[in-house]
Amino acid sequence: AQSVTQLDSHVSVSEGTPVLLRCNYSSSYSPSLFWYVQHPNKGLQLLLKYTSAATLVKGINGFEAEFKKSETSFHLTKPSAHMSDAAEYFCVVRGYSSASKIIFGSGTRLSIRP
């Protein structure tokens, strides 16, 4: 079975400062991990994914995440926040089986202060 925990329900940063959104996972097998972003009244857009290749994954809009197996973490970072980054971010885990459920974290709302 797999699960995912997003440690912060809300993160607020100033524009131009770094962003860190935390995610820890639990999975019986080698997981695939994803970060999705949801802007207000919009669908879910894939930011980046980890599927057992490089542990440091680069995504769109300057985001990246590092898979750390020893810490069971997959934190999302960005060096410099932009106002347009304000959104809800979901960490998602998918186990390696033919009919795995894809499990969403509870989400982290990112606010950007001018």
Partner 1 sequence: EPEVTQTPSHQVTQMGQEVILRCVPISNHLYFYWYRQILGQKVEFLVSFYNNEISEKSEIFDDQFSVERPDGSNFTLKIRSTKLEDSAMYFCASSGPSGGAHTGELFFGEGSRLTVL
**Taking CA 89 as the corner, what is the angle to CA 41 and CA 94, rounded to the nearest 5 degrees?**
115
Residue closer to partner 1, measured from CB, 24 or 105: 105
Q: Which is nearer to partner 1, 27 or 81 (CB)?
A: 27
Q: With contacts defined by CB under 8 A, name the span among 55-63, 67-75, 79-87, 102-110 that binds partner 1.
A: 102-110
Please tell me what DSSP assigns to residue 39. -
Select from 68, 82, 101, 113 the one that contacts partner 1 (CB under 8 A). Answer: 101
Lay out the site mask for partner 1 across 32-71 (x = CB under 8 A, - = otherwise).
x-x-x-----xxxxx--x-xx-------------------
| Beta carbons within 8 Å of 99's beta carbon, 6+ residues apart | none
Q: Among candidates 62, 74, 69, which has minimal Cα distance to 19? A: 62
Pair of tokens at residue 89 = 């971010």
With respect to partner 1, which residue has the nearer C-beta, 28 or 52? 52
